[in-house]
Amino acid sequence: MPTVQIKDEARIGSEARYKYEPSAYLQKLYHSGTPDLGWMNQHGEWGVHARPGNLGLRLKDIEIGTYGVVPEKGGDHLSMAPRGAALPSDLPSLGFTVNQKAECWADNVMELYEEAVARQWSSARDIPWHELKPLPDDLERAMCQLCTFLTEVEFIAADAPTRWMSRINQDFLEVKLFLATQAMDEARHTEVFRKRALANGGGLGVASPPSEWSLKKIFDSPNFSAQTARLHLLGEGFVLTMFRQGEFLAPTRVDQEIFRRCMQDESRHVGYGTVHLREQLKSRPELAAEIHNELDDAEKILLQLFGVPEQVEPMAILMGGGLDHFDKGMELQGQLWRRIVNEYLQRCDSAGLDRRPRCLLPTDFNKFFEG
């Protein structure tokens, strides 16, 4: 094999601050040429034959034997050692704080992870940007303001869960893998809406203090489950409906493709959050009080979001098909608001949380202005 040429090889290490002493093992290997091979006798369950299904070798296909047992409590070593590997005694702790399965698990997490990996898309490649055509000024301004809002809020769903991701015990790696896909999804949403705002003669609109407050509350959640309630159940459920509205109100096929693909991603996140809460509440029913408190506050902030013109008016203009049809857009918005509330409450039902009596969100916005 030809020798690899390395630039300035003689200088390498000439100013190194430490002197490395080869281990006793390496010295023995170097001098005797005899491998140790002791690691061959240290392993987890052996003789495992994971079989691929019709869609390849998925996580569920390797959840077999002892490797398929997800412990109720993560390993006390708190290291990154893979679940099921032989564990030496001197593993350093990374100080994980989410160490109970119930604190982070959802039974659909493996399915959602594989689905996320399989259904990734590229905003550069998969959106037909060349089909963008100039829009009337009111529609372009409304679309750009909506994109400003979405590019402002989307990355919280990466920033916030990944704060907790690094604290989740490595024995629950499937959850961490899923959260990593969510972070990637949100990265794509952030860039695709920014791209859209800058692609058709407009630009970014105005940032929103109520949005920022809702993001801050999510970011500052006291624990992972509280954050999941705010973020996955209410926040992402709300944004999911916005993406569906976006698909509906899209003035161009470009916009429709963007919203439809984002909608697919967002519904996975909602799916994780709903099942996670369901399992949490099953194992710790007393948690319901805390989740209700979080949702009381989150719903209040959501209503504040709908109290500012930069949030209400772009959607109404796009829904109506222009500023001239603002009233029609508001009427459609009102109908869709009922859908947002209905789907949110149905997800709460699915999670096992009876939210209906305590829900602050009105089924009809007009109720605020009557009497």
Partner 1 sequence: MAAFPDPQWFAALGRLMEAEGELFRRLGYAEVRFVIKVIGENDDPVAPLVGLEFDGYRLARAVQLDDTAAFDPDFVICGRRPVWDRMLAEIARGGRPELRHTLSSLALVGDELWLESTDQLREDKFFRFNQTLQEFFNLSARLSR
Name which position in 43, 300, 339, 358 contacts partner 1 (CB under 8 A).
Answer: 339
Q: Is 142 in the site for partner 1 (CB under 8 A)?
A: no
Q: Is 54 in the site for partner 1 (CB under 8 A)?
A: yes
d(CA 161, CA 228): 8
Closest approach of partner 1 to the CB of residue 281, in Å: 14
Asked if 181 and 158 count as a contact pair (C-beta separation under 8 A), the reply is no
Structure tokens at 318: 């796009």
**Beta carbon nearer to partner 1, 98 or 112:** 112
d(CA 108, CA 110): 6
Closest approach of partner 1 to the CB of residue 240, in Å: 7
- Phi, psi angle pair for 252, to nearest 5°: -140, 165
Name the residue among 27, 68, 184 with its Cα closest to residue 116.
Answer: 184
**Beta carbon nearer to partner 1, 83 or 278:** 278
**b/e string for 32-42 if b means 16 or more Cβ within 10 A?**
eeeeeeeeeee
Q: Is 42 in the site for partner 1 (CB under 8 A)?
A: no
Name which position in 224, 347, 353, 361 contacts partner 1 (CB under 8 A).
Answer: 347
Stretch that binds partner 1, among 119-127, 148-156, 204-212, 354-362 (CB under 8 A): 119-127
**Beta carbon nearer to partner 1, 240 or 317:** 240
Q: Please list the residues that pair with 168 across neighbouring strands.
A: 98
**Beta carbon nearer to partner 1, 53 or 357:** 53
Asked if 171 and 139 count as a contact pair (C-beta separation under 8 A), the reply is no
- Phi, psi angle pair for 179, to nearest 5°: -65, -30
**Beta carbon nearer to partner 1, 138 or 171:** 138
Q: Residue holding tokens 């500052």? A: 220
Asked if 176 and 170 count as a contact pair (C-beta separation under 8 A), the reply is yes
Q: Is 124 in the site for partner 1 (CB under 8 A)?
A: no
Q: Is 180 in the site for partner 1 (CB under 8 A)?
A: no
Q: Is 154 in the site for partner 1 (CB under 8 A)?
A: no
Contacts (CB under 8 A) with partner 1, residues 183-222: none
Asked if 336 and 315 count as a contact pair (C-beta separation under 8 A), the reply is no
Stretch that binds partner 1, among 6-14, 151-159, 192-200, 261-269 (CB under 8 A): 261-269
**Beta carbon nearer to partner 1, 29 or 250:** 250
d(CA 208, CA 195): 19
Q: Is 29 in the site for partner 1 (CB under 8 A)?
A: no
Closest approach of partner 1 to the CB of residue 21, in Å: 51
d(CA 276, CA 13): 51
Closest approach of partner 1 to the CB of residue 295, in Å: 16
Name which position in 248, 285, 293, 309 contacts partner 1 (CB under 8 A).
Answer: 248
Q: Is 11 exposed, middle or buried (0-12, 13-18, 19+ CB in 10 A)?
A: exposed
DSSP string, 119-184: T---HHHHS-GGG-----HHHHHHHHHHHHHHHHHTTHHHHHHHHHHTTB-GGGHHHHHHHHHHHH
Which residues contact partner 1 by CB under 8 A? 54-55, 111, 115, 118-120, 126, 240, 244-245, 247-248, 250-253, 256, 260-261, 263-264, 266-268, 270-271, 274-275, 332, 335-336, 339, 343, 346-347, 349-350
